[in-house]
Copies of this chain bind each other. A is one copy, B any other.
Amino acid sequence: MTDETAPRATTARRVGIADVAARAGVSVGTVSKALNGSGRLRDETRARVRAVADELGFTPISVARSLLAGRTFTVGIITTDSYGRFGIPVMRGAEDSLAAGEMIAFLCDGRDDPIREQHHLGKLLERRVDGIIVAGRRTDPRRPIGADLPVPVVYAFAPSSDPADCSVVSDERGAAQLAVEHLVKTGRRRIAHITGPQSHASANERAAGLADALAAHDLELVGDPYFGSWTEAWGRFAAAQLLRTHEDVDGVFCGSDVIARGVTDGLREAGLSLPTQVGVVGVDNWGLVAEAARPPLTTVDLGLEEIGRLSAELLLDAINGHAQPGVHVVPGHLVVRES
């Protein structure tokens, strides 16, 4: 028993591979092999070294390893929406996949400002991240974050405008189709559409998907799509407007849960009973909104976490040399509640 045992007051401080080697009576190379399971070593030695490492609370400094390996086992996530409604689930999904690959993520908030974004990009490259995920907040294609970067990039939710980049997006048209199928299955035939501003790609695509899906059932949209804003107030207003000209409507597909909540309130306040007289379907599956609506909203979940997961997986693949460029579409699914 050496005097080493006595005064180790501080935990996990400054224990290097050399300390372990000395204590175990072997060389540093042997310790490295023992701990990484590489090379040829007697089982007894391996076990002894491991035991000593545990005892000393040794953790290898990954930074030293990175320097040698030429990679850092980190990725950067740049989000444009300050960790908002869309970025968060994507991030969560991405973190899931990354953890599985022993990677960890740096987080940067771009705040939708190209200058900030470039600044963060520079910082990330300086830290030699192995790859970058760019998470957007709108489905409209965005300018690539940089040309000819030294690391792979995956665009999540908001695809890159360059089709040669790797992007993962939600299935906007499919969402409309799921909604229509549900409405039709529950007996609705006179279906209207209340959605966000026409300047948003998602509003247009959902509207287009809706038209197609209705056509497939030999149905026609009731009135024109009501384009407005992504707010409850607009949903309420549009619902009232809709009833004025089309009082026989029996289903409404809404561009988002927030709008749908406004629509349910508008319809209810106009004296209709839900879901008996009118069925309402939203998009987003935003728990807080969907569950607080009266009645709780049936809605299309766009699979944002899955987008995050797939983005991270594609990024890991690209880092390992198997890039899969192009646009990858993640299907959504219907969450049936009472509306």
Binding site for B on A (CB under 8 A): 10-13, 59-64, 66-67, 72, 74, 77, 82-83, 88, 91-92, 95, 104-109, 122-123, 125-128, 147-150, 231-233, 258, 261, 288-289, 292
| A54: min CB distance to chain B, Å | 13
Main SS class of interface, A = mixed
Contact: B66 with A63, CB < 8 Å? yes
Smallest distance from the beta carbon of A175 to chain B beta carbons, Å?
21
Q: Which residues of B contact A125 (CB under 8 A)?
A: 12, 59
Task: Identify the closest chain B residue to A292 (Cβ).
Answer: B232
Determine whether the beta carbon of B150 is less than 8 Å from that of A62. no
* Least CB distance, A194 to chain B, in whole angstroms: 16
State in angstroms the CA–CA spacing of A147 and B9 once bound together: 12
| CB-CB nearest in chain B for A13 | B150
Select from chain B the residue with minimum beta-carbon distance to A64. Answer: B67
- Complex alpha-carbon distance, A91 and B88, angstroms: 12
Give the docked Cα–Cα distance between A92 and B107 (Å). Answer: 10
CB pair A292 B231 closer than 8 Å: yes
Copies of this chain per assembly: 2
Nearest CB on B from A285, distance (A): 15
The interface residues of chain B lying within 8 Å CB-to-CB of A289 are: 288
B232 touches A11 (CB 8 A): no
Q: Which residue of B lies closest to A125 (CB)?
A: B59
Contact A63 B59, CB 8 Å, known A83-B88, A91-B83, A104-B106: no
Query: In the complex where A67-B64, A126-B60 touch, is A107 in contact with B88 (Cβ < 8 A)?
Result: no
CB distance from A288 to the nearest CB of B (A): 8
Which residues in B have their C-beta under 8 angstroms from that of A108?
A: 95, 104
Q: What is the CB-to-nearest-CB distance from A7 to chain B, in angstroms, rounded to a whole number?
A: 14
Interface contact B63-A12, CB-CB below 8 Å: no
Quote the shortest CB–CB distance from A45 to chain B (angstroms). Answer: 24
Given contacts A59-B126, A83-B92, A92-B82, contact A149 B11 (CB under 8 A): yes
Q: Determine the distance from Cα of A77 to Cα of B95 in the docked complex, in whole angstroms.
A: 13
Nearest B-chain residue to A87, judged by Cβ:
B83
A83–B83 Cα distance when bound, in Å, is 8
Taking the closest CB of chain B, its distance from the CB of A64, in whole angstroms, is 6
List the B side residues contacting A258 at CB < 8 Å. 288, 292
Q: Is the CB of A91 within 8 A of B67?
A: no
